[in-house]
């Protein structure tokens, strides 16, 4: 291990697993409604899927090509993978203990009962068989393994069953193993008819049907055992920057291949015989540490459908109605007057995302609007905002959409939107090859006349920390700023010109931009606080990001801490910085907020010799965001808006510890002091909006 790196940096992947432990702790919190506790468990399962598909897959690739390589914290790749596997196995075991010992009993207590095949009554048995024969059997394709039918390469994260068999088939072939892949269209959780339940809600898992009736797929053979398994594959997309001529076409080809990437993890239900387990590992070229035997369904994320099937609001968080600004005029020309009168700051989901949609809808039908430009990273498959852009293009507006096709796991959705936009005449640009466009920007150009002055063109901008995604805007905390400030508007326009055209980077008046200036400006601001502290002045850095893993930024924060700068960091996920190390980071505190909403905002606040600078950004403090993406940070110029961000985005999370975790120098996370008696910061903000 690199002795220099060890005390300065923590491991990123272990930090990601630690974040999921904090989420899993929510599933054990008795103050949280039952269905929400189930949701947290499912979130952890889904997060771990992506963790293996991306982070573990990348490390395994690196180990294969350069076994001597090291991670930023100084570990050799092989050693890092072993530590990650140990920690992941412990987390997965804990996840299933929570399922069996907490979530299942909790669901039973509220009348939600899972009926396994061994518990079926005669009537339930008849219903189950009829359902299997009508809805399941016709879409299944059993594969009996023999020299002509080798082990199939099953789809990424698909539910599969290994069926142990005995006997000879119709052709006289001895068959000892069959594989059945459950199509993704089949629901994994089935609601029992009301008349067959003895509880308020009754459910049967698809795996129970397969366990009971798998023999129907291999008539004449004896079924010795049916075992669930699931393979997670490398989901990174490879697009060769040097050879592609059409990114969309190249990406569509890669998306088809994603489902069959190299295996990185095997999940098997407990009780699978060791010889079969070894065969599954061998067929997928996996090692023992890559195999996870689990006490329950192999895909816990699918249990989230129970929340919709039960649909009892008393078992979920109380309904939250985002607030509209008191002076918001709605979707019409008056909203441009409102923005021109002064900046408007929105804090989602406490404030409604509606004004952002209104802005695009108004622009689509306003005869004075000439052009709309917008970046889209994630929008979802069902989006009123995207429909408004299509309406604008259909109405003859100049619509330019920078649509990031490489948005992980949203590529197919974005390709579909691109096709629809282009069909209506919109200009669709797929970002910059090699630099994902992650900036959140909307620019509207409007023709206006003011008094006796001649008609002029005026620009309006929305910039934010989160995606233009209406569903996540109700679940993620993000800030958005609407402004007509000419310098900010000119900068946003310049960024669009760089992306859509071909030009050299021109210094911006207001914005910081990755990959050109954001890192340097950030470092300059940190160093400025250190300079003030060394001179005996008051110096402060408060920031909020989703991840802090860029070594250069971390080193600058260490230097600032040594100089005496007060540093408070809200880091939702992985953090490689060690806080509270004597002589290195004495003045740094790190806190993570885990609650009802996913903390997603990026805020940089510098004391700046009393001028109190506040920046909103799309960029986390990660190498990819600072050097390999198109990102922006925008200054908040309005005094009231700055105060709102400092209070609602930063201070409240240090004042209200009910959903806070604090990190120590070893990278361990513990509940903040007085968390049980402390108020949740998110609840405080919900109540503040409700009170008006």
The catalytic residue positions are: 438
Sheet holding 189-191, edge to edge: 112-114, 201-205, 189-191
Q: What span, in angstroms and rounded, lies between the C-alpha atoms of 660 and 266?
A: 34
DSSP character at residue 471: T
Is 530 exposed, middle or buried, given 0-12, 13-18 or 19+ CB atoms closer than 10 A? Answer: buried
Around Cβ 635, how many Cβ atoms within 10 Å? 17
Q: Within 13 A of 368's CA, how many CA atoms are on the CB side?
A: 15
Q: 162 pairs with which residues across the strands?
A: 179, 227
Distance (Å, whole) CA 12 – CA 577: 10
The conformation of residue 318, written as its DSSP 8-state character, comes to: P
Instruction: Using CB atoms within 10 Å of the CB of residue 368, give its burial: 0 to 12 exposed, 13 to 18 middle, 19+ buried.
Output: middle
Exposed, middle or buried by CB within 10 Å (0-12, 13-18, 19+), for 238? exposed
The count of other CB atoms within 10 Å of the CB of residue 420 is 15
The answer to whether 472 and 377 are in contact (CB under 8 A) is no
Asked if 266 and 291 count as a contact pair (C-beta separation under 8 A), the reply is yes
Structural contact between residues 406 and 433, judged by C-beta atoms closer than 8 angstroms: no
Residue 448, classed as helix, strand or coil, is strand
Alpha carbon distance, N-terminus to C-terminus of the chain: 55
| Rama region for 668: left / alpha / beta (φ>0; ψ in -120 to 50; rest) | beta
Cis before residue 167, ω within 30 degrees of 0? no
Taken as a whole, the chain contains a residue count of: 692
Q: 84: Cβ–Cβ under 8 A, 6 or more apart, which residues?
A: 11, 13, 14, 17, 56, 59
* SS3 of residue 601 by DSSP: coil
CB 460 within 8 A of CB 373: no
Helix, strand, coil % over all residues of the chain, rounded to 5:
40, 25, 35
Give the residue from 379, 342, 341 showing the smallest Cα distance to 360.
379
Cα–Cα dist 689/687, whole Å: 5
Angle value at C-alpha 479, between 474 and 485, nearest 5 degrees:
135
3-state class of 410 per DSSP?
coil
CA distances from 689 to 313, 590, 600 (A): 21, 27, 19
User: Which residue do the tokens 């992980």 mark?
Assistant: 408
CB of 651 closer than 8 Å to CB of 634: no
CA–CA–CA angle 469, 383, 158 (5° rounding) = 75
Separation between Cα atoms, residue 659 and residue 598, nearest integer Å: 12
Beta bridge partners of 149: 146
């Amino acid at each position: 291990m690199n002795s220099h790196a060890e005390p300065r940096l923590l491991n990123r992947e272990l930090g990601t697993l630690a974040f999921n432990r904090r989420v899993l702790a929510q599933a054990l919190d008795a103050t949280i409604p039952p269905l929400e506790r189930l949701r947290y468990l499912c979130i952890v399962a889904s997060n771990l899927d992506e963790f293996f598909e991306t982070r573990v897959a990348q490390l395994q690739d690196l180990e294969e090509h350069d076994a001597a390589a090291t991670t930023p914290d100084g570990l050799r790749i092989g050693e890092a993978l072993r530590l990650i596997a140990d920690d992941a196995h412990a987390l997965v075991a804990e996840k299933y203990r929570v399922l069996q010992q907490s979530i299942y009993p909790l669901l039973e207590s509220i009348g939600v009962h899972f009926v396994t095949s061994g518990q079926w009554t005669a009537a339930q048995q008849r219903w189950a068989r009829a359902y299997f024969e009508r809805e399941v059997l016709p879409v299944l394709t059993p594969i009996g393994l023999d020299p002509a039918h080798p082990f199939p390469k099953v789809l990424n994260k698909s539910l599969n069953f290994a069926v142990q068999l005995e006997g000879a088939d119709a052709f006289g072939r001895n068959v000892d193993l069959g594989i059945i892949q459950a199509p993704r269209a089949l629901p994994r959780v089935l609601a029992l008819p009301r008349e067959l339940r003895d509880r308020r809600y009754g459910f049967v898992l698809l795996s129970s049907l397969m366990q009971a009736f798998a023999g129907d797929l291999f008539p004449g053979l004896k079924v010795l055992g049916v075992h669930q398994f699931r393979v997670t594959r490398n989901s990174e997309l490879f697009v060769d920057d040097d050879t592609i001529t059409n990114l969309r076409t190249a990406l569509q080809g890669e998306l088809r291949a994603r489902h069959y990437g190299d295996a990185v993890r095997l999940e098997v239900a407990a009780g699978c015989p060791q010889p079969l387990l070894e065969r599954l590992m061998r067929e997928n070229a996996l090692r023992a540490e890559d195999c996870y035997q689990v006490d329950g369904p192999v895909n816990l994320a699918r249990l989230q459908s129970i929340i919709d099937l039960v649909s009892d609001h008393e078992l979920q968080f109380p309904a939250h109605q985002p607030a509209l600004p008191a002076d918001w005029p709605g979707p019409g020309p008056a909203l441009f007057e409102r923005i021109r009168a002064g900046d408007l700051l929105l804090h989602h989901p406490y404030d409604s995302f509606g004004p952002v949609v209104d802005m695009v809808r108004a622009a689509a039908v306003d005869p004075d609007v000439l052009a709309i430009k917008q970046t889209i990273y994630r929008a979802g498959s069902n989006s009123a905002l995207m429909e408004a852009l299509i309406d604008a293009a259909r109405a003859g507006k100049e619509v330019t959409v920078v649509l990031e096709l490489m948005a992980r796991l949203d590529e197919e959705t974005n390709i579909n939107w691109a096709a629809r936009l282009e069909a209506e005449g919109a200009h669709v640009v797929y970002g910059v090859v090699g630099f994902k466009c992650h900036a959140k920007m909307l620019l509207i150009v409007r023709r206006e006349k003011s008094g006796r002055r001649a008609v002029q063109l005026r620009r309006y901008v929305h910039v934010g920390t989160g995606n233009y995604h209406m569903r996540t805007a109700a679940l993620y905390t993000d800030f958005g700023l609407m402004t007509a400030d000419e310098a900010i508007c000119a900068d946003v326009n310049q960024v669009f010109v760089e992306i859509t055209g071909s030009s050299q980077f021109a210094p911006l008046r207001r914005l910081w931009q990755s990959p050109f200036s954001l890192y340097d400006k950030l470092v300059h601001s940190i160093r400025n606080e250190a300079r003030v502290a060394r001179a005996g002045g008051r110096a402060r850095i408060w920031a909020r990001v989703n991840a802090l893993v860029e070594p250069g930024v971390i080193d600058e924060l260490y230097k600032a801490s040594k100089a005496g700068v007060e540093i408070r960091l809200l880091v939702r996920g992985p953090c490689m910085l060690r806080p509270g190390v004597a002589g290195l980071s004495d003045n740094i505190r790190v806190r993570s907020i885990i609650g009802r909403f996913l903390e997603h905002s990026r805020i940089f606040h510098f004391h700046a010799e009393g001028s109190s600078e506040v920046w909103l950004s799309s960029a986390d403090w990660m190498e990819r965001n600072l050097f390999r993406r198109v990102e922006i940070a925008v200054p908040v110029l309005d005094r009231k808006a700055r105060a709102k961000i400092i209070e609602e985005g930063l201070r409240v999370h240090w004042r209200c510890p009910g959903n806070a975790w604090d990190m120590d120098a070893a990278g361990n996370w513990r509940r903040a002091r007085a968390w049980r008696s402390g108020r949740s910061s998110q609840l405080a903000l919900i109540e503040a909006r409700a009170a008006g």
